[in-house]
Amino acid sequence: MELFKSILSVIVVLVMFVGILYLAYITTKFIGKRYSVKGKQFKNLKVLETVAIGPDRQLMIVKTAGKCLLLGATPQNISLITELSEDMLNNEFPEEEAVETMSFTDALRRVTKEKLTKKNQTEDNHDAEEG
Q: What is the mean pLDDT of residues 11-39?
A: 85
Q: What pLDDT score was predicted for residue 105? A: 84
Rounded Cα gap, residues 123 and 101, in angstroms: 32
Strand (E) or helix (H) holding 78: strand 78-84
pTM score, whole prediction: 0.42
Q: Identify the residue with better confidence: 129 or 88.
A: 88
Q: Using CA atoms, how far apart are residues 81 and 73, in angstroms rounded to an integer?
A: 10
Q: For the segment 65-113, what is each residue's pLDDT rounded down to a tens digit?
A: 888 899 999 999 999 999 988 777 766 555 544 456 778 888 888 888 8
Sheet containing strand 78-84, edge to edge, reads 45-54, 57-64, 67-73, 78-84
What residue segments make up the domains of the chain, in order of their start? 1-35, 36-130
What percent of the chain clears pLDDT 90, i.e. is strictly above it?
28
Going through the chain in order, the beta strands assigned E by DSSP cover 45-54, 57-64, 67-73, 78-84
